Amino acid sequence: MGQTIYFRSQPRIAAVSTIAGKKECEGIIGRYVETALEDDMFGESTFEKAECKMLSHVIDGAIVNGGKKREEIDLIVSGDLLNQIISASFAARDYSVPFLGVYGACSTMAESLAVAAAFADGGFAHNIVVATGSHFASAERQYRYPLELGTTRPPQAQWTVTGAGAALVTEGGDGVRITSATLGKVVDYGITDVNNMGAAMAPAAADTILAHFRETGLEPSHYDLIVTGDLGALGSRILKDLTWEKGLDISNNHVDCGEIIYKVIEDEFQGGSGAGCSAVVLNSYLYSKMMTGGIRRILFAATGALLSTVSSGQGESIPCIAHAVVLER
């Protein structure tokens, strides 16, 4: 039946909440992020605990901003980049609410939104909080090198965003409507450079975006924006090439959260990455533009690289995935 599913009842993103680090708030999202961190440790003793606290903070924020109480929430759908998604699991511990843990790496915001919309549309839950985030320092420690080592970053590298975003998905009411989703397949073009996530993920983004337009029969101009999660500058160029080769020109309205999140992306080479990247940009800047700024239709395709240090260590390439959701106002 194809990759695209339609939500007849059009569940709403009724409220959002975001938090981001100092560096992130210097950029375009600064005016829109709900909580700007002064200190990326967020008062905690470890990076991982800070990451978890950011998630709790935005889950709480989305509930409060939506005018709900904790006991009105039927489900939390969340995941993150850390081994065994400990940020999500430990954040969920503080809520007496059913929890579905998901893993889609940096595609988690889109995957969670799709799952939440399916549960809302199917009548299985009225109020669902989806949330994800990432922390530069915990990601560096887990995936790359200890920060203390001061390892030089190659030019194709991206910078993991310190931040988290949450959305309250409800059955009806005001807000941004989730009208359909195109679920991604795992795509692997054989990239093995763990510093080049953009190149690894671009084919997955292309695959899902092409499937979306093929199955819906729409043109790219149907959307005000076609948003990818964290391909970065290089990955975005590859995506546009890959879709153009297949006869789909998205260059007029494509924007990548990773490419735009930092003020001067040259400092961070290809831009931002991490599950928090698209989560923060979507739930602050883009949500605001949809609610008040005249942007009416977004195809939000977040991409994830499904590698681990073990898989790379064993010589594997990097399988990637992109899930897309259609957001309308």
Which residues of this chain interact with a copy of itself, rule CB under 8 A? 1, 3, 5, 46, 48-49, 74-75, 79, 81-86, 89-90, 92-93, 95-105, 111, 115, 118-119, 121-126, 142, 183-188, 306-311, 314, 316, 319, 321
Least separation in angstroms between residue 48's CB and a copy of itself is 6
The residue with tokens 């409060």 is 64
| DSSP 3-state of 270 | coil
CA-based nearest residue to 111, from 3, 8, 194, 237: 3
Q: Would you say 95 or 253 has its CB closer to a copy of itself? A: 95
Report the C-alpha gap between 246 and 249 in whole angstroms. Answer: 9
Could you tell me how far CA 98 lies from the centroid of its own chain? 22
Report the C-alpha gap between 109 and 77 in whole angstroms. Answer: 9
Least separation in angstroms between residue 124's CB and a copy of itself is 4
Least separation in angstroms between residue 308's CB and a copy of itself is 4
Least separation in angstroms between residue 314's CB and a copy of itself is 5
Q: Would you say 37 or 85 has its CB closer to a copy of itself? A: 85
* The residue count for the chain: 329
Q: Would you say 161 or 306 has its CB closer to a copy of itself? A: 306
CA distances, 199 to each of 18, 135, 195, 210, 212 (Å): 28, 22, 9, 17, 21
Q: What is the DSSP string of 289-300?
A: HHHHSS--EEEE
Q: Would you say 11 or 27 has its CB closer to a copy of itself? A: 11
Q: Would you say 262 or 300 has its CB closer to a copy of itself? A: 300
Least separation in angstroms between residue 264's CB and a copy of itself is 31
Structure tokens at 170: 């409800």
